[in-house]
């Protein structure tokens, strides 16, 4: 991300995981704050990277597009990703 800033890249696309929202209230939208819990060490590290990315966006105007894909599941899935 810092390299993109140094070289004046016009757009950075960061693909993460919806898991970084942790125990946030559902449904998640662009305005939803991250929840206070993450459910695995993997998601915790993704969350920490996300915080750095958003900091660069807010403080240094990183030209950012953030994507949070979720699993595509069938009808009536009771897990959070199914909501």
Residues 6+ apart with CB under 8 A from 7: none
- Say what the pLDDT of residue 27 is: 85
pLDDT value, residue 30: 82
Domains of the chain: 2-82 (3.40.50.720)
Q: Select from 30, 50, 27, 29 the least CA-distant residue to 38.
A: 50
pLDDT tens over the chain, length 83 residues: 999 999 999 999 999 999 899 999 888 888 899 999 998 999 999 999 999 999 999 999 999 999 998 776 767 767 666 66
Count Cα neighbours of 69 within 13 Å in the Cβ-side half-sphere: 7
Per-residue model confidence (pLDDT) at position 2 = 94
The pLDDT value recorded for residue 3 is 95
Report the alpha-carbon angle 19-30-58, nearest 5.
95
């Amino acid at each position: 991300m810092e390299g993109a800033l140094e070289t004046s890249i016009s757009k950075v696309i960061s693909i993460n995981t919806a898991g970084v929202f942790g125990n946030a209230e559902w449904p998640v939208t662009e305005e939803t704050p991250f929840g206070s819990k993450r459910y695995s060490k993997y998601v915790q590290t993704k969350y920490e990277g996300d915080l750095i990315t958003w900091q660069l966006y807010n403080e240094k105007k990183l030209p950012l597009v953030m994507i949070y894909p979720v699993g595509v599941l069938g009808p009536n899935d009771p897990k959070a990703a199914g909501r």
